[in-house]
Amino acid sequence: MSAAHVAERFPRVFGSLGVFSGAVDLSTPAARLAAYPAFEAEKVCAGDDPQASGPLGDPVGHPAAWAAVDPVSGAAALRRTAVYLSSGNGVPCTPEDAANLVYVTAATEPQLRRQADTFSAALTAAGVEHVNQRRACGLHWWSRWRPDLADFWNRIARGWRADIAAEGPGPTVAEQP
């Protein structure tokens, strides 16, 4: 399951959603099959049992479970959420990136870009304001996400500052009970 699905299920809890090369389109069998290896890799990284099928099961044997958590179909629930999408195109930006192509997850970026674009189109159709940061290069790798994470953080922090300014100043320390 993705953070996008959780934000859709609980829109009053999460005011912001950042997706950095995430699996956000589970609407087709091909998209599900592309996301499955990433979900399996996350299980291993988290120390979960690699033999466990996970909460959704495999995408071929359990298509209804995968469809039920598809962020594309729930995009309208994010109308009051600040949404930021980021993806590369699968082309290494630097020689360091090219060296990381040996990792399977690094090569998933082109499919994740397609998923971000599909999700972006669903958000637009649902009238959800969002940012779809399509990087000119980049793999599914932390060094590529770091600048986008900073951009996302700065955007949501501006929103927090605007909310605080609209509320007016809070009580001073002397006024606290």
**Cα angle 102-87-75, degrees, rounded to a multiple of 5:** 130
pLDDT grade for 65, boundaries at 50, 70 and 90: confident
Number of domains in the chain: 1
CATH number of the domain enclosing 109:
3.40.50.1820
pLDDT grade for 173, boundaries at 50, 70 and 90: very low
Q: Reduce the DSSP state of residue 83 to 3 states and report it.
A: strand
If you average pLDDT over residues 140-145, what whole number do you get? 82
Residue 74 domain-assigned? yes
Residue 176 is predicted with a pLDDT of 45
Which 8-state DSSP code applies to residue 74?
G
Residue 52 is predicted with a pLDDT of 56
Residue 95 domain-assigned? yes
pTM of the model as a whole: 0.80
Residue 158 domain-assigned? yes
Determine the Cα–Cα distance for residues 134 and 1; give it in Å rounded to an integer.
Answer: 23
Pair 65, 57: CB distance under 8 Å? yes
Determine the Cα–Cα distance for residues 48 and 35; give it in Å rounded to an integer.
Answer: 17
**Cα angle 77-81-86, degrees, rounded to a multiple of 5:** 105
Residue 123 domain-assigned? yes
Determine the Cα–Cα distance for residues 149 and 172; give it in Å rounded to an integer.
Answer: 33
User: pLDDT > 70: what percent of the chain?
Assistant: 79
Residue 174 domain-assigned? no
Residue 100 is predicted with a pLDDT of 77
Determine the Cα–Cα distance for residues 94 and 137; give it in Å rounded to an integer.
Answer: 9
Alpha helices in the chain (DSSP H): 3-9, 29-45, 63-68, 95-99, 109-125, 142-167
pLDDT tens for 110-136 read: 888 999 999 999 999 999 999 999 999
pLDDT at 105 over 80: no
Residue 111 domain-assigned? yes
pLDDT at 87 over 80: yes
Residue 177 domain-assigned? no
pLDDT at 159 over 90: no
pLDDT at 7 over 70: yes
Residue 52 domain-assigned? yes
- Domain extent for 126: 3-167
| Mean pLDDT rounded to a whole number for the chain | 82
Pair 139, 100: CB distance under 8 Å? yes
